[in-house]
C-alpha cells in the first residue's frame, strides 16, 4: 500500500522527478531555461524555498522547504504541466513526458541538508558528464559556491551558518566539495527518496511521526529490497 507523501511545512524535502522510461526530458538549452523559469514562478506561487537543484538530461533533483503541506505537490504539478505543454509544442511531440509521481523524502536539515545539496549538485560528476560541478551549467552550484545570481534559489538557514557574509559562505560551501560524500549518508538519501521515507535519525523520525500522527515508513515486506541487486539498481537510477 502506498503511504501518504511525507510533507511538513518548514521541513526540507528532497525531490526527484524522472522522464518516462528514463527518456530525455531536455532536448536543448532553451528547454532547460524554460524549466528554470517555470520553477521560479511555481516556487513563488506555492511558497516553496528552493535551496538546490540540478536538471539532468532525463530527470531533475530539487531540495526545497515548503511553507504549506500542499506546496510541493502543487509546485511539481504546475511545473510539470507547463513544461510538458511547452515541450510538446516546441518539439512537435505528443504523449506523456514524466514517469509518474515524483519521489520525495523529508530531510533532517541539521544533519543532511548540506549533504543532500552536494549530492544534488554532484550528479553531473557522478554521471561522468563533467569533472567539476562548476562545469555543468544547469545546477545551483553556480549560486551556492560561486555567487552567481539565481532567482530560483533561497539559501537555507543552515547555508547561512557557513559564514558571516556571502563570500565566507560561498568559500565554506565550495570547500565541502573537496571531501568525498559519505557512502552511508548517500545510501540513506537514495533509499529514503526512492521509498518516500524520512532521512534522519530515530529521534527525527519519531518527531515527524508525532507531527503527522502516523507512521512515516513502510514495514518490512521481505523480498530483495535490501539486496545488492536492489542497491545496484538504485545507484543506476539516482
Kindly report, residue by residue over 195-234, the tens digit of the pLDDT. 888 999 899 999 999 999 888 876 544 444 444 443 444 4
> Would the pLDDT of 162 be above 60?
yes
The confidence score (pLDDT) of residue 182 equals 86
> Is 227 inside any structural domain?
no
The confidence score (pLDDT) of residue 32 equals 98
The confidence score (pLDDT) of residue 2 equals 59
The confidence score (pLDDT) of residue 100 equals 86
The C-alpha atoms of residue 200 and residue 10 are separated, in whole angstroms, by: 15
> Is 230 inside any structural domain?
no
Mean pLDDT for the chain overall: 90
> Would the pLDDT of 153 be above 60?
yes
**Beta-carbon neighbour count of residue 218 at 10 Å?**
13
Q: Which residues contact 127 (CB under 8 A, 6 or more apart)?
A: 56
The confidence score (pLDDT) of residue 3 equals 64
> Is 210 inside any structural domain?
yes
* Range(s) of the domain holding residue 175: 13-218
> Is 19 inside any structural domain?
yes
Buried b / exposed e across 175-201, counting CB within 10 Å, b at 16+? eebeeebeeebbebbbbbbbebbbbbe
- What CATH code is carried by the domain that includes residue 182? 3.30.70.1290
What pTM did the predictor assign?
Answer: 0.89
> Would the pLDDT of 121 be above 70?
yes
C-alpha cell recorded at residue 218: 513502510
Q: At which residue does the C-alpha cell 511547452 appear? A: 86
> Is 46 inside any structural domain?
yes
> Is 135 inside any structural domain?
yes
> Is 4 inside any structural domain?
no
> Would the pLDDT of 127 be above 50?
yes
For 80, the enclosing helix (H) or strand (E) is: helix 71-90
Number of structural domains (the chain) is: 1
C-alpha cell recorded at residue 110: 541539521
> Is 223 inside any structural domain?
no
> Would the pLDDT of 53 be above 80?
yes
Amino acid at each position: 500500500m502506498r503511504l501518504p507523501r511525507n510533507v511538513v511545512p518548514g521541513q526540507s524535502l528532497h525531490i526527484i522527478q524522472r522522464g518516462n522510461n528514463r527518456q530525455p526530458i531536455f532536448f536543448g538549452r532553451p528547454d532547460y531555461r524554460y524549466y528554470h523559469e517555470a520553477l521560479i514562478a511555481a516556487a513563488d506561487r506555492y511558497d516553496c524555498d528552493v535551496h538546490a537543484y540540478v536538471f539532468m538530461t532525463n530527470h531533475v533533483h530539487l531540495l526545497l522547504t515548503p511553507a504549506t503541506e500542499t506546496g510541493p505537490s502543487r509546485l511539481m504539478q504546475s511545473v510539470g504541466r507547463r513544461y510538458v505543454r511547452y515541450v510538446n509544442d516546441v518539439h512537435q511531440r505528443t504523449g506523456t513526458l514524466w514517469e509518474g509521481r515524483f519521489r520525495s523524502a523529508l530531510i533532517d536539515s541539521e544533519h543532511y541538508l548540506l549533504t543532500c545539496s552536494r549530492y544534488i549538485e554532484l550528479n553531473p560528476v557522478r554521471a561522468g558528464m563533467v569533472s567539476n560541478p562548476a562545469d555543468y551549467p544547469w545546477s545551483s552550484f553556480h549560486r551556492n559556491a560561486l555567487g552567481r545570481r539565481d532567482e530560483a534559489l533561497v539559501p537555507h538557514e543552515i547555508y547561512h551558518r557557513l559564514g558571516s557574509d556571502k563570500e565566507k559562505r560561498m568559500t565554506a560551501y565550495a570547500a565541502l566539495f573537496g571531501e568525498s560524500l559519505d557512502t552511508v549518508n548517500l545510501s540513506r538519501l537514495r533509499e529514503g527518496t526512492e521509498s518516500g521515507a524520512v532521512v534522519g535519525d530515530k529521534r527525527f523520525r519519531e518527531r515527524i511521526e508525532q507531527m503527522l500522527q502516523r507512521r512515516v515508513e513502510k514495514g518490512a515486506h521481505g523480498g530483495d529490497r535490501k539486496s545488492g541487486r536492489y542497491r545496484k539498481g538504485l545507484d543506476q537510477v539516482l
